[in-house]
Structures are given as structure tokens and as C-alpha cells.
């Protein structure tokens, strides 16, 4: 039988298109970093975004998510929806942002209402049992799912963390936006956790190609189908909310932050 | 202790607020009088709840005691818990908030003074209703969390539980109304310059507490109505023998119950955050962190309720996630403790009675917090649940924490409320009696719990060590009783002949100290300029003013319609209520039996009437528009159509009900019937309430009393009407289209 170590060391999707995408993105980002100033924090964010993208789509997690474990599949969704787009937005070079500021956007793009609906809606949409099954059976549906999750995540985070500071949502509005988003995802998580209905019945059917891996997950890890779905629901409910909570605290910290006046504090003191 | 205090303006005779006659108190809408009414009412119930506690301790003083029987003992601990949480803790904190929040933000009153009075008067009503149950022969006896199926009619056939349910509904409605009032007041009524980033921490904590109240209390209310329907109309939501689910009660109760802990703790944190800086002569250390961690606590507290249910066997996945979630709360809470300690550090500390209570709070709350962290670890919870260790834990949080903070706040703000200083010598006597008594009573209960003494059992055998520890505990309770009596004596004596306080006896920092003690009816003759978090410090110490050294965000534009804001807050609370009702529908309509029953519904006919109800949102929107542009005729026309559409919807619902009843589907026939009538019935009630409100506006509009100038009133009710339509979309999708089945 397979061991857990073999899963971690051997089950990588070396032929996943995710590698190409990350390679191209790294190339583009390096170009941007050479021509425009980027901060160390922005580079870190880019590295996290790229690594998370690979973790979600090319690592053993992706293999597990493909047929073997619903909770791995949920983890994959959370990474694609919450972490990858957030870090990608935070990695955006500031000067490119200023240039992009003047580019006109069609009205609904980048608005909070659309962002909220996309972010929360994508999660609900892809967990309708029929669609969940379809994404596992057809690579085209899977590709669409992946793209739509990243895009929906980007639409969700954009109004809160867009690079143009002055056009971000006001902090207290952002807190309410994030909190309601957290509730929207929690409700789905709670539903999945407690529902006796199988959200993705294919995982129960045990359709994975490798029976060895199947046995490892079910028997050695003890992830029965029921428990697997519970863990998936709880991932959506508790850790996902922690991401929203972290974002709320970040917006609060900028809410308490006082922008420096020209000339610094001493001038302020004198002026008063 | 007053040696170092500065009485910085005229020390006059105590000025009686206008209308201080007895009738004046009954009819008052002044936030200060209502605040004092809340506090006094809570004190009365504190004496009742305290007497119950003494009776419990007397019964447990010796092994195999027969002072009270098992059934009366059950009533005692149930009433003690219920009274302390709903009739002491919540009203007294609301009372302080009522009194202080408008003063602290420089307002002349709360946003809705009459709603405020309404909220208060529900407290004595609920309290009397709860205690009236003693006259029916049996007070509630199923514990303060009233677990089903024990609380079902099968096992609690007397009326005590019914009184409990109705009283808590009444109290819950009062709490939600006062929370909405506080939210609107804090957002809209702040003095110029008082940005939300500058409000005193007590105000900020009350703000977060109020948000928690409007989210958490509706969860309790939905559980209460479901159980009430079980008990009075014969449904079986929580009766497993008829297909119901008694675990659901636990979920619903703790969805409310865990935030409730923070509803009782956050205002206490706020009081401590005011008292410690003033008596350390320093601004609070890390204001932003104390405020931000409150938000984190509020959000986390909504998602960890199942840690109260480790013992029911939810399964390993739940236990792990809820254990982690619960442990995380220790981070923001610990952060607060560090901030308070750091405020003390290097301060020039004045050990007034108030400060002594605040320091005792810190120590005792940390102990209660640490045992809380222990309980977050599921296996420890399995071992210790339902023992006296739990009793010790939550009394360290709620008594050693909240009540001690209330004493700190009480001694601190008493001069402001009455114009006279409480006697410090008697205060210290109270303090030592309480500290010694509290720790004697509850510290030993940790050991009793570890030894396995079960809570809620009327007596115990003579096991080694149990008698001694229980006797110590009972002696401690008498110390606390004495402490309360000394405090009351101190209050009465001070009111008669206490030292006159002056405006600002503690040289304190926040706006409530910038007016007379007690404040006159309008609160302030002139609100001082607010440029920092400590406006009164800035005023009294211009050379050392805060705004010269540290800057805080300026005041910004704020919304202007109190009616719309209140409506929005109300909708949030209603949404929570419906969310839980609809969840109950989803939970109970998964089996094939219920689903085939649901197929009896006529989907296409209801779809037509759904369309009519949604159309009424459009017509109401037209009416709002017409009113805004002063088109009175158009306004009345569109409002009339809205009323008609709503009425048609209700008539259809009535016809549908008649058809179902005719075919033998009733609220008690099966779970489909129970959930269907509950969900659609409550929605129908809301439509009806909306129609009544709109009809009133229609009549006002006809008489010309409602014009474009007051269009926000229609706007506020419009929010509500649109919300009711959205709820119907959800109900229609779940019940008729069965999207979640």
C-alpha cells in the first residue's frame, strides 16, 4: 500500500498547465519589477500567489482533489478563491496601478456589489451537486471552474485591496462587506457540514484510478465519505472565515491609520 | 482618595432633573433617568438572584442536606441563572450604556428616546412574568439553557417553562430595541470632532456589543418560538420520538448563548478600559488594539458555539475545528489583558475602590479565561463538563469579571449620576468582602469539579473532602452577601449625606465629566472641542493636550437618516431570525415522507402571488420616488397599489392555509406541517405588520402630514418591505421549489 510520504513526494502533476501559467506570470512580473519599482512586500505576495496556485493545481493536493477527497477539493477551491487572487492583487506594482487608474472600466466591473455576488456566488454555484460532478468528469468544466474561481476571487477582493489606495472602499464599509461575505460562505459551510445529502457523490463512488490511494485515504487516514464532507464543510466555514477576519482587521488598521501631512509631524505641531 | 482629585467647576447643590416626581420617572424618556431605572431594576433582581444563590449554597453546605428538595433545587438554579443573565447582567449593562453613551459622545439624548423607554419597560414586564411562574406552582426548572427534550411538555408538564419562554421573548425584544437605539446613537449623534476612532472604548465596546445583540438574540427568539409552538400547538421540532431533533435546540441556543457571553463581557471590558487609564493617569495603552481585538472577539464568538456541545458527540471533525476556533479567541482577549496591564505599568496609580475592583477584575478574569482555554480542548471538556469546574469557570468570567467590572464602574460613575461621592472606607470594606467571598466561594469549586462533583444535583454524599470544600464555598457566599449589603448601605447613606462630587472628581478624561454632576436635562451647556480621544484632559491640561503629540483620524461625513439606519439594523436582526426558521425547515424536510407532503403545495399558483408581492416592491419604490419629488397624488396612488398587492398576497396565503387544513395538514400533523406553517406564518405576520405600517403612512399622507420633507420615514419602512420580499424569495425557493432538497 502507498504511504503518506509517497503521496507527498510522488503525486505531483508535472504536466499541469499551471506550471506554464506560473512561469509566464513570473516572467511578466520580473519584467515589471525591472522597469518599475516594486516593494519587497509586493514580491513576497507574488511568490505566495504563485506557490499557492501551484499547490492548488499541481501538487498532491490537486491529485487528492481530483477524485479521492472532497475536503482536498474544498481546500483547492479556498486557495483559488481566497488566497491566490488576494495575493496577486497585493503584488500589483504601485506605479502600474497609478497608470491603470486612468483606464476606464465598464460600470459593473470592480464594483462592490458585483464583487460580493461573484465571490460568494462562485462558491455556492460550484457546489451544486450536478456541477460539482461535472467538474470532476470533464477537464473543460474543471478549467472553467478554476478560471471562474480565481476571477470571482479577484472581483471580490478588488474593491477592498485594489492598488489605488484612494479608490479602495472606506474601511468601515469594507468591514461590513467582508463580514457579510464571511456569513455567506459560512452558511454554505454549515450546510455542507450538516447535510446528509452528498455534495459531490463521485467521491463516495470511489471512482479514483488508483485503488491504493483510495485505500490510503479511506482506511489509513480514516477519511470516510461522511467525515470527508464534514471536514470539507468545516474548512469552508472556520478557516475561510479566518481569512475574512484577517482582512477585516487589516482594513481596521488602515481605518485607525492617520495619513501624514506634508512636512511631517513637527510641522503639524507648529501649525496647530 | 479625593485628596488628589480636582473639582474644577462650581460645586453646587445637587440639581434635580426636571420631572423627578414619581410620575416623572414612570413617564420619562430621558436617557439618564431610563439608565438609572435599568440599573435600579437590575439591582432588585440582583437581590432576588442573590437570595436564590444563598439558598443553593445553604442546601449544599453539608452533605445529604434536606433543606430544599430536588424539585425546588432545580427551580432555584434555573431561576438563579436566568435572573442573573437576563434580568441583572443585560439590564444593568444596558443601563450604564444608556446613561453614559450619549454623555461620552457629547449627545443630548439617544436617537430614539421613546423606543428607549419601551425597551426599558419590557424588562420589568419580562421579570414579573418570569417570577409570576412561582404562583403557578412551579417555576421553570430545566436549567438556564432549558435543554429539550427535558423542556418539552412530556417532561415539564407544568407551566413554568412556558413562562420562561414568553418572558425571554419579551426581554429579547427589549434588548434588540435598545441595541438598535445604541447603534444609531453612536453612529449619528456624536458631537462634532468625535470620530468613531476617537470614541471612548466603553462606547466602542457597546457598539460591538449592540451588533452582537442584534445578531444573537434573534437566534434565541427563533428557538423560543419553536419550543413554544411545540409546547402549545403540539408540533415536534425538538421531540425526537416524533421525528424532531433535540440537538437542534442546543445548536440554536448556543448560537445565541456563546455571543451572549461576550454581550455580558465586552461592556465590562469597556468599563475597565475607562477606569484603569484614569486611575493610572495615562491614556490607554494601544487603543487601536483594544478596539480592534473587540471586533475580532465579536466575529469569532459567532462561530464557535459548538464548543458548548463537545459532550453530545458531534464527531472528531467538529471537535477539532471548534476547539481551534475557541482557542483563537484567547488571542484577542489576551491582547486586551496585556494592554490593560501595560496601561498600569509605570502609571501613577491611585488605589481608589473603583481601581481596586478593576485590578481584581484583571486577576480573576485571567483565571476564568485560562479555565476557558482548558474547556476549549475537547477531551478536557468531556472530563469536566457538568461538574463544579464549569460552575467555577463561568463564575470567574461573569462574576469575577463582569460583576467586578460593574463595581469598578459603579464606584467610578456614581458621582456623575448622583452628584455625590460614595464613601471610600465603606467601599474598601465592600471590596475586601467581595474579593475574599468570591474567591472562597468559587476557587474551591475548581477542586470539587476535578473530584467529580456534578453540578445541578441537589445534594451529595459524604465523600472525603467534599464537605469541607462545600462549607468553605457557602461561607464565601455569605461574605459576598454582606458585601452587597454594605454597598447598598453605602449608596443609601451617600444619597442622603454624601460628600458633594463636583463635575470631575477623578480628573477624568472623557466627555461625561465635562458637564455637571448629575448632568442637567440637555446634558451639556456647551460640548468642548473634541480633537483627541481625551477631550476633557485636553481641556484641563492645554499644555499637555493629546492632539499636540499624537494624531487621530478626523471626524468624517456620516449618514443622516436615523430612521433608515434603525430600519437597516432591525432588518439584520430579522434576517437572523428568518435564517434560523428556514434552517429548521431545511433540517426537517429532508426525508422522503416530508418531501412528498411538500408536493401538495401548489407551486404555480404561489408563483403568481410571489410575482404580485415582488411587484409591490416596485410600486413602493415608485411611491418613495413620488414622495421625494413632492408628488403627493402619485405617492398616494402607488402606496395604495402596494397596499392592495400586499393584501392580495395575504388573502391567497389564507386560502392556501384553508386548503391545507381541509386536507388535514396542520401544524401538529407532521414535521412538514410544523415547519411550513411556522416559516410561512411568520413571514405572513411580517407582511401584515408591513401593511399596517404602510396603511398608517397612507392615512398620514392623505391628511397631508407626510410630505417629501419626511420621505426618510417611508424609506425606512420601504427597507423593511423590500426585506420581507427578499425573505419570501428565499422561502419560495426553499419551500416551494425545494432548491436545497
Contact flag B291-A256 (C-beta cutoff 8 Å) = yes
How much is the pLDDT for B626? 94
Q: Residue B592: is its pLDDT beyond 80? A: no
Identify which of B197, B299, B303 has the shortest CB distance to residue A255: B197
Q: At which of B527, B549, B571 does a domain end?
A: B549
Q: Is the CB of residue B739 less than 8 Å away from at least one CB of chain A?
A: no
Nearest to B246 by CA among B358, B146, B342: B146
Closest-CA residue in chain B for A252?
B292
Residues B510, B637, single domain; the answer is no
Q: How confident is the model at residue A97 (pLDDT cuts 50, 70, 90)?
A: low
Stretch B395-405: mean pLDDT? 96
Interface contact flag, B551 A256, Cβ < 8 Å: no
Higher pLDDT, B167 or A102: B167
Residue B487: pLDDT band (50, 70, 90) is very high
Q: Which of B299, B542, B738 to mutate to test the interface with A (most CBs of A within 10 A)?
A: B299
Q: What is the mean pLDDT of residues A86-96?
A: 85
Q: What integer pLDDT is reported at residue A92 of this predicted model?
A: 85
Q: What is the pLDDT of residue A107?
A: 61
Q: Is residue B6 part of a domain?
A: no
pLDDT in tens, B444-482: 999 999 999 999 999 999 999 999 999 999 999 999 999
Helices B287-301 and B316-344 cross at an angle (nearest 10°) of 160
Mean residue pLDDT of chain B comes to 93
Nearest-CB residue to B303 (from A186, A253, A258): A186
Arithmetic mean of pLDDT, B11-29: 66
Instruction: Give the CATH number of the domain where residue B52 resides.
Output: 1.20.210.10
CATH number at residue B701: 1.20.120.80
Of A172, A191, A238, which has the smallest distance from its Cβ to B321's Cβ? A238
| Mean pLDDT of the A11-22 span | 89
CB contact under 8 A, A272 and B548: yes
Average pLDDT score over residue span B245-267: 95
Q: Is the pLDDT of residue A265 over 50?
A: no
Query: Given B292, B549, B551, which is nearest A252 (Cβ)?
Result: B292
Q: Mind telling me how many Å the CA of A253 is from chain B's nearest CA?
A: 8
What is the value of ipTM here, to two decimals? 0.89
Instruction: Evaluate if residue B8 carries a pLDDT over 60.
Output: no
pLDDT in tens, B46-97: 999 999 999 999 999 999 999 999 999 999 999 999 999 999 999 999 999 9
Residues of A within an 8 Å Cβ radius of B: 172, 175, 179, 182, 186-187, 191, 193-194, 196-197, 227, 230-231, 234, 237-238, 241-242, 245, 248-249, 252-253, 255-258, 265, 268-269, 272
Residues B492 and B469 in one domain: yes
> What count of other Cβ atoms lies within 10 Å of the Cβ of residue B515?
23
In the numeric block, the cell 478588488 is attached to A158
**How many alpha carbons fall within 13 Å on the CB side of residue A139?**
3
* Substitution target from A71, A125, A192, A258 for chain B, most B beta carbons within 10 A: A258
For residues B560 and B256, the model is more confident at B256
Residue A251 pLDDT > 50:
yes
**Is B551 within 8 Å of chain A by CB?**
yes
Q: What is the DSSP string of B91-158?
A: HHHHHHHHHHHHHHTT-SS-S-HHHHHHHHHHHHHHHHHHHHGGGGT----STTTT-TTTTSTTT--S
Query: Are B669 and B545 contained in the same domain?
Result: no
| Residue B201 pLDDT | 97
* pLDDT reported for residue A104: 60
Q: For residue B15, tell me if it sits in a domain.
A: no
pLDDT in tens, A54-72: 999 999 998 888 888 899 9
User: CA of A193: which chain B residue's CA is closest?
Assistant: B318
Phi, psi dihedrals of residue B447, rounded to the nearest 5°: -65, -40
Q: Do B551 and A258 touch (CB under 8 A)?
A: yes
Query: Distance between the two ends of chain B, CA-based, in angstroms?
Result: 68
| B39 and B144 both lie in a single domain | yes
Inform me whether the pLDDT recorded for A272 exceeds 60.
Answer: no
Q: What percent of chain B has pLDDT over 70?
A: 97
Burial of B42: CB neighbours in 10 Å, binned 0-12, 13-18, 19+: buried
Report chain B residues whose CB lies below 8 A from the CB of A256. Answer: 197, 288, 291-292, 552-553
Q: Classify residue B23: in a domain, yes or no.
A: no
Q: What is the mean pLDDT of residues B148-169?
A: 93
Chain A to chain B Cβ contacts (< 8 Å) = 66
Give the tens place of pLDDT for each residue, B194-221.
999 999 999 999 999 999 999 999 999 9
End-to-end Cα, chain A, rounded Å:
76
**Residue B560 three-state SS:** coil
B638-689 confidence digits (pLDDT tens): 999 999 999 999 999 999 999 999 998 999 988 999 999 999 999 999 999 9
Q: Which residues on adjacent β-strands are paired with residue B500?
A: B420
Domain boundary among B519, B549, B579: B549
pLDDT score at A108 = 65
User: In this prediction, what percent of chain B has a pLDDT beyond 90?
Assistant: 85
**In this model, does residue A207 exceed pLDDT 70?**
no
User: Quick one: which of A76, A183, A54 has its CA closest to A127?
Assistant: A76
Name the residue of chain B whose CA is nearest to A194's CA.
B587
| Distance in angstroms (rounded) separating the CA atoms of residues B394 and B407 | 18
Chain A residue closest in CA terms to B324: A238
Tell me the three cell numbers of residue B323.
476547539
Q: What angle do CA B513, B517, B522 make, to 5 degrees?
A: 85
- CA angle centred on B534, ends B36 and B285, rounded to 5°: 100
Which of A100-104, A220-224, B287-291, B314-318 bottoms out in mean pLDDT, i.e. has the lowest? A100-104
Mean pLDDT of A150-157: 94
- Verify cis geometry, omega within 30 degrees of 0, for the bond prior to B72: no
Cβ distance A227 to B317 less than 8 Å, yes or no, reads yes
Q: What would the mean pLDDT of A232-256 be, rounded to a whole number? A: 92
User: Where in chain A are the domains?
Assistant: 8-96+110-255
Give the nearest partner residue to A231 out of B317, B553, B740, using CB atoms: B317
Instruction: Say yes or no: B655 and B545 in one domain.
Output: no
Residue A229 distance to chain B (closest CA, Å): 10
CB of B706 within 8 A of CB of B697? Answer: yes
* Best to test chain A binding among B294, B295, B321, B580 (most A CBs inside 10 Å): B321
Q: From start to end of B177-257, where are the E strands? A: none
Q: Judge if B213 and B329 occupy the same domain.
A: yes
**Yes or no, beta carbons of B321 and A249 under 8 Å apart:** no
Give the domain extent around B603: 562-736
pLDDT band with cut points at 50, 70 and 90 for residue A101: low
Residue A65 DSSP code: I
Q: Where are the beta strands (DSSP E) in A181-230?
A: none
B7 found inside a domain: no
Q: How many residues does chain A have?
A: 272
Tell me what the mean pLDDT of segment B346-353 comes to. Answer: 95
d(CA B5, CA B1): 8
Looking at residue A263, its pLDDT comes to 41
Task: Looking at the structure, tell me whether residues B457 and B570 fall in a common domain.
Answer: no
Q: Is residue B13 part of a domain?
A: no
- CB within 8 Å of chain A, chain B residues 241-300: 288, 291-292, 295-296, 299-300
Residues B348 and B485 in one domain: yes
Contacts of B196 in chain A (CB under 8 A): 172
pLDDT digits 0-9 by tens, B509-544: 999 999 999 999 999 999 999 999 999 999 999 999
Please name the residue of chain A whose CA is at the shortest distance from the CA of residue B323: A238
Say if residue B309 is in the same domain as residue B424.
yes
Please compute the mean of the pLDDT values over residues B369-395 and round it to a whole number: 95
Mutation pick from B284, B551, B595 vs chain A, by most beta carbons of A within 10 Å, is B551
At residue B559, does pLDDT exceed 90? no
pTM above 0.90, yes or no: yes
Residues of A in contact with B589 (CB under 8 A): none
| Closest CA of chain A from B312, distance in Å | 15
Contact B299 A269 (CB under 8 A): no
Indicate whether A98 pLDDT > 90: no
Residue B434 lies in a domain: yes
Q: In B141-174, which positions are buried (b, 16+ CB within 10 angstroms) versus exposed (e)?
A: bbbbbbebbbbbbeebeebbbbbbbbbbbbbbbb
Mean pLDDT of B140-158: 92
Spatial separation of the C-alpha atoms in residues B419 and B414, rounded to whole Å: 8
Q: What are phi and psi of B281, to 5 degrees?
A: 55, 40
B310 and B391 inside one domain: yes
From CA A264, how far away is CA A255, in angstroms rounded? 19
Task: Reply yes or no on whether the pLDDT at A264 is more than 60.
Answer: no
Confidence tier at A206 by pLDDT (50, 70, 90): low
The average pLDDT across B166-193 equals 96
Residues of A in contact with B318 (CB under 8 A): 193, 230, 234
Mean pLDDT of all residues in A140-151: 93
Which pLDDT tens digit goes with each residue over A169-181? 888 889 999 999 9
The span from the CA of B42 to the CA of B703, in Å, is 44
Residues of chain B found within 8 Å of residue A232, distances taken between Cβ atoms: none
Question: Which pLDDT belongs to residue B12?
Answer: 39
Does residue B570 sit in the same domain as residue B511? Answer: no
Count up the domains in chain B and report the number.
2
Query: What confidence tier does B386 reach under pLDDT thresholds 50, 70, 90?
Result: very high
What's the confidence (pLDDT) of residue A267? 37
B548 to A269: CB separation less than 8 angstroms, yes or no? yes
Q: Min CA distance, A190 vs chain B (Å)?
A: 10
Q: What is the nearest CA distance from A16 to chain B, expressed in angstroms?
A: 32
CB half-sphere exposure, A173, CA atoms < 13 A: 13
Residues B284 and B364 in one domain: yes
Q: Report the pLDDT value the prediction gives residue A268, as an integer from 0 to 100.
A: 38
State which residue of chain B sits closest to A192, comparing Cα positions. B740
Amino acid at each position: 500500500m502507498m504511504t503518506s510520504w509517497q503521496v507527498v513526494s510522488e503525486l505531483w502533476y508535472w504536466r499541469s498547465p499551471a506550471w506554464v501559467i506560473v512561469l509566464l506570470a513570473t516572467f511578466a512580473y520580473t519584467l515589471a519589477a525591472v522597469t518599475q519599482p516594486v516593494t519587497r512586500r509586493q514580491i513576497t505576495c507574488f511568490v505566495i500567489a504563485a506557490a499557492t496556485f501551484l499547490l492548488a493545481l499541481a501538487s498532491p493536493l490537486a491529485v487528492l482533489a481530483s477524485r479521492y477527497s472532497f475536503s482536498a477539493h474544498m481546500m483547492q477551491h479556498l486557495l483559488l478563491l481566497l488566497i491566490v487572487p488576494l495575493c496577486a492583487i497585493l503584488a500589483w506594482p504601485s506605479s502600474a496601478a497609478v497608470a491603470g487608474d486612468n483606464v476606464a472600466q465598464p460600470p459593473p466591473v470592480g464594483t462592490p456589489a458585483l464583487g460580493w455576488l461573484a465571490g460568494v456566488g462562485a462558491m455556492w454555484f460550484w457546489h451544486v451537486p450536478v456541477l460539482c460532478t461535472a467538474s470532476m468528469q470533464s477537464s473543460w468544466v474543471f478549467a472553467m471552474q478554476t478560471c471562474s474561481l480565481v476571477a470571482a476571487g479577484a472581483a471580490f477582493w478588488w474593491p477592498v485591496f485594489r492598488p489605488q489606495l484612494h479608490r479602495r472602499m472606506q474601511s468601515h464599509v469594507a468591514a461590513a462587506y467582508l463580514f457579510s461575505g464571511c456569513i455567506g460562505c459560512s452558511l454554505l459551510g454549515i450546510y455542507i457540514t450538516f447535510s446528509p445529502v452528498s455534495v459531490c457523490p463521485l467521491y463516495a463512488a470511489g471512482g479514483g484510478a488508483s485503488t491504493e490511494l483510495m485505500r490510503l485515504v479511506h482506511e489509513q487516514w480514516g477519511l470516510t465519505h461522511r467525515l470527508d464532507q464534514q471536514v470539507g464543510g468545516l474548512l469552508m466555514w472556520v478557516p475561510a472565515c479566518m481569512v475574512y477576519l484577517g482582512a477585516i482587521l487589516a482594513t481596521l488598521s488602515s481605518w485607525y491609520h492617520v495619513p501624514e501631512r506634508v512636512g511631517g509631524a513637527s510641522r503639524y505641531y507648529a501649525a496647530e | 482618595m479625593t485628596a488628589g482629585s480636582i473639582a474644577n467647576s462650581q460645586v453646587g447643590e445637587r440639581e434635580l432633573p426636571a420631572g423627578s416626581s414619581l410620575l416623572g420617572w414612570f413617564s420619562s424618556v430621558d436617557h439618564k433617568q431610563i439608565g438609572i431605572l435599568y440599573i435600579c431594576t437590575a439591582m432588585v433582581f440582583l437581590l432576588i438572584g442573590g437570595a436564590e444563590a444563598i439558598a443553593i449554597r445553604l442546601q449544599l453546605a453539608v452533605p445529604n442536606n434536606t433543606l430544599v428538595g430536588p424539585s425546588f433545587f432545580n427551580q432555584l438554579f434555573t431561576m438563579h441563572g436566568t435572573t442573573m443573565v437576563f434580568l441583572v447582567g443585560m439590564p444593568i449593562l444596558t443601563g450604564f450604556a444608556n446613561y453614559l453613551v450619549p454623555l461620552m459622545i457629547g449627545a443630548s439624548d439617544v436617537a430614539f428616546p421613546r423606543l428607549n423607554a419601551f425597551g426599558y419597560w419590557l424588562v420589568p414586564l419580562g421579570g414579573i412574568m418570569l417570577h409570576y411562574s412561582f404562583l403557578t406552582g412551579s417555576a421553570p426548572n430545566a436549567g438556564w439553557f432549558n435543554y429539550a427534550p427535558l423542556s418539552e411538555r412530556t417532561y415539564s408538564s407544568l407551566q413554568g417553562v412556558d413562562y420562561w419562554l414568553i418572558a425571554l421573548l419579551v426581554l429579547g425584544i427589549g434588548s434588540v430595541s435598545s441595541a438598535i437605539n445604541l447603534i444609531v446613537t453612536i453612529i449619528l449623534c456624536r458631537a462634532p470632532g468625535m470620530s468613531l476612532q476617537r470614541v471612548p472604548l466603553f462606547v466602542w465596546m457597546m457598539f460591538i456589543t449592540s451588533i452582537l445583540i442584534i445578531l444573537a438574540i434573534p437566534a434565541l427568539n427563533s428557538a423560543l418560538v419553536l419550543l413554544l409552538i411545540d409546547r402549545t400547538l403540539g408540533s415536534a421540532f425538538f421531540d425526537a420520538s416524533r421525528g424532531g431533533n433535540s440537538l437542534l435546540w442546543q445548536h440554536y441556543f448556543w448560537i445565541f448563548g456563546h455571543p451572549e457571553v461576550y454581550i455580558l463581557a465586552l461592556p465590562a471590558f469597556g468599563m475597565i478600559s475607562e477606569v484603569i487609564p484614569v486611575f493610572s493617569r495615562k491614556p490607554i495603552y494601544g487603543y487601536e488594539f483594544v478596539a480592534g481585538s473587540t471586533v475580532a472577539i465579536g466575529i469569532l464568538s459567532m462561530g464557535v458555539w459548538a464548543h458548548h456541545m463537545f459532550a453530545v458527540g458531534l464527531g472528531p471533525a467538529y471537535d477539532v475545528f471548534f476547539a481551534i476556533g475557541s482557542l483563537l479567541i484567547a488571542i484577542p482577549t489576551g491582547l486586551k489583558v496585556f494592554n490593560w496591564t501595560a496601561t498600569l505599568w509605570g502609571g501613577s496609580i491611585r488605589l481608589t475602590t473603583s481601581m481596586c475592583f478593576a485590578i481584581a477584575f484583571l486577576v480573576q478574569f485571567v483565571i476564568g479565561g485560562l479555565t476557558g482555554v482548558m474547556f476549549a480542548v475537547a477531551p478536557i471538556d468531556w472530563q469536566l463538563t457538568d461538574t463544579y469546574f464549569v460552575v467555577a469557570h463561568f463564575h470567574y468570567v461573569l462574576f469575577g469579571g463582569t460583576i467586578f467590572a460593574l463595581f469598578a464602574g459603579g464606584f467610578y460613575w456614581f458621582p456623575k449620576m448622583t452628584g455625590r461621592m460614595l464613601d471610600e472606607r465603606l467601599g474598601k470594606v465592600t471590596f475586601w468582602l467581595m474579593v475574599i467571598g468570591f474567591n472562597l466561594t468559587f476557587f474551591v469549586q475548581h477542586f470539587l469539579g476535578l473530584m467529580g462533583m456534578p453540578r445541578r444535583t441537589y445534594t451529595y454524599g459524604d465523600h472525603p473532602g467534599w464537605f469541607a470544600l462545600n462549607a468553605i464555598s457557602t461561607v464565601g457566599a455569605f461574605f459576598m452577601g454582606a458585601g452587597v449589603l454594605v454597598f447598598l448601605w453605602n449608596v443609601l447613606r451617600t444619597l442622603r449625606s454624601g460628600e458633594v462630587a463636583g463635575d470631575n472628581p477623578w480628573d477624568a478624561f472623557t466627555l461625561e465629566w465635562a458637564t455637571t454632576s448629575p448632568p442637567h436635562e440637555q446634558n451639556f451647556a456647551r460640548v468642548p472641542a473634541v480633537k483627541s480621544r481625551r477631550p476633557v484632559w485636553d481641556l484641563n491640561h492645554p499644555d499637555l493636550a493629546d492632539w499636540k503629540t499624537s494624531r487621530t483620524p478626523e471626524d468624517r461625513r456620516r449618514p443622516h437618516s436615523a430612521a433608515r439606519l434603525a430600519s437597516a439594523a432591525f432588518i439584520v436582526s430579522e434576517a437572523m431570525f428568518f435564517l434560523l426558521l428556514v434552517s429548521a425547515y431545511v433540517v426537517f424536510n429532508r426525508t422522503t415522507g416530508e418531501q412528498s407532503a411538500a408536493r401538495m403545495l401548489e407551486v404555480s399558483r404561489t408563483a403568481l402571488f410571489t410575482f404580485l408581492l415582488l411587484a409591490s416592491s416596485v410600486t413602493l419604490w415608485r411611491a418613495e420616488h413620488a414622495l421625494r419629488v413632492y408628488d403627493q397624488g402619485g405617492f398616494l396612488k402607488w402606496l395604495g397599489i402596494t397596499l392592495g398587492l400586499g393584501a392580495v398576497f395575504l388573502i391567497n396565503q389564507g386560502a392556501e392555509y384553508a386548503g391545507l387544513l381541509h386536507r388535514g395538514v396542520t401544524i401538529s400533523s407532521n414535521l412538514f406541517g410544523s415547519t411550513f406553517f411556522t416559516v410561512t406564518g411568520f413571514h405572513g405576520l411580517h407582511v401584515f405588520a408591513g401593511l399596517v405600517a404602510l396603511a398608517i403612512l397612507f392615512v398620514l399622507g392623505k391628511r397631508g402630514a407626510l410630505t417629501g420633507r419626511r420621505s426618510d420615514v417611508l424609506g425606512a419602512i420601504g427597507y423593511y418591505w423590500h426585506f420581507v420580499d427578499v425573505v419570501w424569495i428565499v422561502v419560495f425557493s426553499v419551500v416551494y421549489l425545494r432548491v436545497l432538497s
